[in-house]
Amino acid sequence: MFSADRMRLVVLDRDGVLNKESDAFIKSPAEWVPIAGSMQAVARLNQAGFRVVVATNQSGIARGLLDLDTLGLIHAKMRDALSDVGGHVDGIFFCPHGPGDGCNCRKPLPGLFQQISERFDVDLAGVPAIGDSLRDLQAASAVGASPMLVRTGKGKRTLGSPDLAADIPVFDDLAAAVDQLLKVND
């Protein structure tokens, strides 16, 4: 899947993959609660030489539910939780826009993935992208990344979507997806 001279990168959605999902949005650091094993899964990717980045829609900003400072505090809590288990993310890319704002960065559009490609100067073809919603998978597919679905967060609902491609690999959670990635890339 990866050549020795190519950057090993994994793109993760945040809510529903790293932390528990909320239909009412994650609006404060107190509401950000990691999914069991997800922080350790990121640390395992780091230890195996992968760069890990987060690509997340955060329309709560456009909806007035939180501001950029609060989002920064949420991400600081996430970074601290990762650090506590020896992990880190190499970047957090987010879309602050609402569904009707017409931006290119709101998944399922590929803008966040294009920003990642530009920032790291890497072609995302074949790069694993792990999400829990159809829009995560569609954004990954739009840039040639390899989408993977987890059943956590909105994943079980996504499994019932008629638009879900039959060849998308499905895992119970991020830890199980990372198990497979590390097995394939040994």
Mean pLDDT for 82-107 is 97
CA–CA separation, 122 and 118 (whole Å):
7
- Whether 22 is in a domain gets the answer yes
- Whether 3 is in a domain gets the answer no
Structure token digits, residue 109: 């559009």
Mean pLDDT for 132-149 is 97
DSSP string across 119-155: HHT---TT-EEEESSHHHHHHHHHTT-EEEEESTTTH
pLDDT band at 2 (very low <50, low <70, confident <90, very high): very low
Ramachandran bin of 8, using left for φ above 0, alpha for ψ from -120 to 50, beta for the remaining angles: beta
Whether the pLDDT of residue 54 is over 50: the answer is: yes
Active site residue 136: no
**pLDDT of the residue at 185:** 74
**pLDDT of the residue at 184:** 81
- Whether 77 is in a domain gets the answer yes
pTM here is 0.94
- Whether 2 is in a domain gets the answer no
CA–CA separation, 39 and 84 (whole Å):
9
- Which 3 state secondary structure label does DSSP give 164? coil
Residue 20 is part of a domain; what is its CATH number? 3.40.50.1000
Mean pLDDT for 23-27 is 94
| Best CA proximity match to 138, nearest among 153, 152, 158 | 158
- Whether 80 is in a domain gets the answer yes
Active site residue 67: no
- Whether 81 is in a domain gets the answer yes
Mean pLDDT for 91-110 is 96
The number of C-alpha atoms within 13 Å of 121 and in the hemisphere containing its C-beta is 0
Residue 52, beta-bridge partner list: 10
Range of the domain at 27: 9-184
**pLDDT of the residue at 11:** 98
Burial of 23 (0-12, 13-18, 19+ CB in 10 A): exposed
**Structurally, how many domains does the chain consist of?**
1
Give the position of tokens 């569609």: 138
- Whether 168 is in a domain gets the answer yes
- Whether 1 is in a domain gets the answer no
Give the chain's length.
Answer: 186
pLDDT band at 7 (very low <50, low <70, confident <90, very high): low
Q: Which of 13, 132, 136, 173 is catalytic?
A: 13
Q: Which of 15, 132, 136, 173 is catalytic?
A: 15
**pLDDT of the residue at 186:** 67
Whether the pLDDT of residue 1 is over 50: the answer is: no
